[in-house]
């Protein structure tokens, strides 16, 4: 016999679902308008170095339901978009920005497609650097200036489209910070969509942590803290200095590029969104990001906040400290997910040394390790209000970066092998309380 079905309940469910789908369609129609707010009022890419990156999740799920997917999903088909709209919209935005007081307008230079063909010698295979969600990347040399650049070409069959192209051009054109990658220019000629960046010779953080080539030296503790502090400064600029503030939404190791001297620069701003202002606490939007880095609260509700970026930063900081990937399918069980693996260890300070990257070979300051792990633990708190503000993170990491560790002459207070390490294990900073100067938001 068939099971009893409450038809009245089912009909109500259908009506509820219809309302949900109707709301979803309205939100998707207004998504472009919200992105335009970024273009009007504010100011990919490990690709600029040729490092392949983890696929980006792009889902149509809105605030009503559904957890994050574990793989890339197309949000929209770029072919369905009028390819001529990008150039027109950029022209409109440039006029709006130039009329907006307090800004110097667009800094990015428009290129013709012929200029970029010449720069890459018709996209010569020897100049190919890599491929990401946006498309292929080639190294090039601008004919008129001789500058070495990275040129990223939109794949019209790829995961990102015109909207992301426009958002990235506008965001980087109006941004100005040493820890953000510089956009040299763009091409929106006919159906061609290309972005021209400064060339980053040291590749991406992901490459140094997880894909080291034989001739690439390991990152020592001092360099890791320098990179973490610099990345935090870039995020602080987006959150606190840009007007209006911007939520990055795609912070991960592959999007942290390294200039000479291991100066970190955030890249790939196609998913950036204007943050909540005034009395608003969040921005309701489609769930977009990368599995393993996406904050669980944002993934479950679609409510995007600045604390969503803080969670992602915590994952990156854990990768820097542990050398593990955010998601590593070669491992078993809970060890596949970095945060899930780390959370039980946060509760026992005696296990903190087990979390240090084996590539460090024990050459790190014990107290610095505790403090860095405490910062990471606070950033990946499940409740967003328990995560610290980016300004506090910058203060704490600046301090750690300033405490230079010398493995040849470690001080008794900082050496892992010092006699005080046992006491530090027992009395070191508690991950729930955090290091001095950093605390969860009230």
Is the pLDDT higher at 129 or at 266?
266
Task: Supply 312's token pair.
Answer: 């992602």
Read off the pLDDT band of 216 (50, 70, 90).
confident
Of 174-188, 213-227, 268-282, the poorest mean pLDDT is in 268-282
Nearest in space to 134 (alpha carbons), one of 108, 110, 152: 152
pLDDT higher than threshold 50 for residue 204: yes
Read off the pLDDT band of 368 (50, 70, 90).
very high
HEC profile of 294-307: CCHHHHHHCEECHH
| Count of helix runs (H) and strand runs (E) in the chain | 12, 14
Active-site residue, 406 included: no
pLDDT higher than threshold 80 for residue 263: yes
What gap in Å lies between CA 151 and CA 115, rounded to an integer?
Answer: 11
**What is the per-residue pLDDT for 244?**
86
pLDDT per position as a tens digit, 11-32: 343 344 444 444 444 444 444 4
Architecture of domain 106-198: 2-Layer Sandwich (3.30)
What's the average model confidence in pLDDT over 318-327?
Answer: 97
Dihedral pair phi/psi, residue 305, rounded to 5°: -135, 170
Percentage of the chain modeled with pLDDT above 70 = 67
What's the average model confidence in pLDDT over 344-352?
Answer: 94
**What is the per-residue pLDDT for 1?**
45
**What is the per-residue pLDDT for 62?**
30
pLDDT higher than threshold 50 for residue 131: yes
* CATH ID of 203-402, from 1.10.510.10, 3.90.226.10, 1.10.10.10, 3.90.79.10: 1.10.510.10
pLDDT higher than threshold 50 for residue 298: yes
**What is the per-residue pLDDT for 213?**
66
What's the average model confidence in pLDDT over 246-263?
Answer: 94
Is the pLDDT higher at 189 or at 132?
189
Counting beta carbons within 10 angstroms of the beta carbon of residue 128, is it exposed (0 to 12), middle (13 to 18) or buried (19 or more)?
middle
**What is the per-residue pLDDT for 85?**
53
Task: Supply 200's token pair.
Answer: 């980053």
Of 99-103, 197-201, 410-414, the poorest mean pLDDT is in 99-103
Catalytic-role residue among 47, 207, 250, 357: 250
pLDDT higher than threshold 80 for residue 262: yes
- Residue 137 bridge partners (DSSP): 130, 152
Dihedral pair phi/psi, residue 332, rounded to 5°: -110, 155
pLDDT higher than threshold 70 for residue 76: no
**What is the per-residue pLDDT for 441?**
55
What gap in Å lies between CA 41 and CA 29, rounded to an integer?
Answer: 20
Is the pLDDT higher at 287 or at 97?
287
- Residue 104 bridge partners (DSSP): none
Q: Annotated binding residues for ATP, as ranges?
A: 152
pLDDT higher than threshold 80 for residue 60: no
Task: Supply 265's token pair.
Answer: 């620069």
**What is the per-residue pLDDT for 232?**
98
Dihedral pair phi/psi, residue 195, rounded to 5°: -120, 140
Which ranges in the chain are annotated with CATH 1.10.510.10? 203-402
Q: Annotated binding residues, as ranges?
A: 152
Is the pLDDT higher at 429 or at 265?
265
pLDDT higher than threshold 70 for residue 234: yes
pLDDT per position as a tens digit, 135-190: 889 999 999 999 999 999 987 765 567 778 888 888 888 888 999 999 999 999 88
**What is the per-residue pLDDT for 71?**
38
Task: Name the pTM for this structure.
Answer: 0.74
The Cβ-side half-sphere exposure at 420, using a 13 Å CA radius, reads 12
CB contact at 8 A, 42 and 174? yes
pLDDT, averaged across the chain: 76
Of 166-180, 316-330, 337-351, 359-373, the poorest mean pLDDT is in 166-180
Which ranges in the chain are annotated with CATH 3.30.200.20? 106-198
- Residue 196 bridge partners (DSSP): 151, 185
What gap in Å lies between CA 362 and CA 278, rounded to an integer?
Answer: 47
Is the pLDDT higher at 268 or at 370?
370
Nearest in space to 398 (alpha carbons), one of 438, 432, 365, 429: 438
CB contact at 8 A, 95 and 105? no
**What is the per-residue pLDDT for 42?**
37
């Amino acid at each position: 016999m068939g099971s009893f079905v409450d038809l009245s309940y089912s009909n109500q469910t259908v009506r509820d679902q219809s309302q949900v789908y109707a709301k979803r369609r309205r939100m998707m129609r207004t998504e472009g308008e919200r992105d335009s707010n970024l273009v009007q009022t504010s100011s990919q890419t490990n690709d600029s170095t040729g490092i392949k990156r983890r696929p980006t999740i792009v889902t149509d799920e809105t605030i009503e339901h559904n957890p994050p997917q574990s793989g890339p999903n197309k949000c929209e088909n770029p072919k369905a978009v009028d390819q001529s709209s990008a150039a027109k919209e950029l022209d409109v935005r440039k006029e709006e920005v130039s009329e907006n007081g307090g800004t110097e307008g667009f800094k990015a230079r428009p290129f013709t497609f012929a200029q970029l063909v010449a720069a890459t010698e018709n996209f010569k295979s020897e100049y190919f650097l890599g491929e990401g969600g946006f498309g292929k990347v080639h190294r090039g040399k601008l004919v008129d200036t001789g500058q070495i650049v990275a040129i990223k070409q939109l794949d019209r069959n790829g995961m990102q489209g015109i909207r992301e192209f426009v958002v990235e051009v506008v965001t980087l054109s109006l941004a100005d910070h040493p820890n953000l990658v510089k956009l040299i220019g763009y091409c929106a000629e006919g159906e061609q969509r290309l972005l021209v960046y400064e060339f980053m010779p040291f590749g991406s953080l992901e490459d140094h942590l997880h894909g080291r080539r034989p001739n690439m030296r390991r990152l020592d503790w001092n360099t890791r803290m320098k990179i973490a502090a610099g990345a935090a400064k870039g995020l602080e600029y987006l959150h606190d200095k840009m007007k209006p503030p911007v939520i990055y939404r795609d912070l991960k190791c592959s999007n942290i590029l390294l200039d000479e001297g291991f100066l970190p620069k955030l890249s790939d701003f196609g998913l950036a969104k204007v943050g909540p202002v005034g009395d608003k606490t969040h921005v309701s939007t489609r769930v977009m990001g990368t599995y393993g880095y996406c904050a669980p609260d944002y993934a479950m509700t679609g409510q995007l906040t600045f604390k969503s970026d803080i969670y992602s930063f915590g994952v990156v900081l854990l990768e820097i400290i542990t050398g593990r990937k955010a998601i590593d399918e070669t491992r078993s069980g809970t060890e596949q997910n970095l945060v899930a693996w780390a959370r039980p260890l946060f509760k026992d300070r005696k296990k903190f040394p087990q979390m240090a990257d084996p590539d460090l070979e024990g050459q790190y300051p014990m107290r610095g390790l505790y403090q860095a792990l405490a910062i990471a633990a606070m950033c990946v708190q499940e409740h967003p209000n328990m995560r610290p503000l980016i300004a506090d993170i910058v203060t704490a990491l600046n301090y750690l970066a300033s405490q230079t560790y010398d493995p040849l002459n470690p001080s008794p207070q900082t050496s892992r092998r010092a006699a005080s390490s046992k006491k530090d294990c027992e009395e070191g900073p508690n991950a729930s309380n955090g290091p001095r100067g950093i605390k969860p938001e009230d």
